[in-house]
Amino acid sequence: AQKVTQAQTEISVVEKEDVTLDCVYETRDTTYYLFWYKQPPSGELVFLIRRNSFDEQNEISGRYSWNFQKSTSSFNFTITASQVVDSAVYFCALGKVYNFNKFYFGSGTKLNVKP
C-alpha cells in the first residue's frame, strides 16, 4: 500500500526559530518520487522539491533543507531561521515513477510563524 503520514497537524514557532516538518511514507515500489509542496493562504500549491528514491543525497536551498532517509522511510523538511512568510500548509507526497497519475498526499502540516 502507498501511504504518506505527516503526524504533525499544526506547528507554531516564533520567527527565526528552526523548524522541521516530518514525513514518513510507505511503498512497495523500489523506485518512486517524493515531493514537498507549500500551500499559502492564497490556496495555490507551490512545488518545492522532488527526490528520486535512488538519490539519498540531502539537499539545501537557501533556508530550506531536506533529509531523505530510505532506511527509516522518511523525507523531512527543515526551515532554518523561519520567517512569517513561511506560514502555510506543507504537503509531502509520494509519486509512482511509471504511473504518474498515482500521487499520494499526506494530510499536511500547518506551520504558523509568529513575529
Residues that bind another protein (CB under 8 A): 33, 35, 37, 42-47, 50, 91, 93, 95, 100-101, 103, 105-108
- Minimum distance of another protein from residue 42's CB (angstroms): 7
Nearer to another protein, 9 or 71 (CB): 9
- Minimum distance of another protein from residue 1's CB (angstroms): 15
* Distance (Å, whole) CA 63 – CA 80: 5
Pairing of strands 109-114, 10-14: parallel
Using CB atoms within 10 A of its CB, is residue 49 exposed (0-12), middle (13-18) or buried (19+)?
Answer: middle
Nearer to another protein, 21 or 93 (CB): 93
- Minimum distance of another protein from residue 31's CB (angstroms): 12
* Distance (Å, whole) CA 84 – CA 112: 8
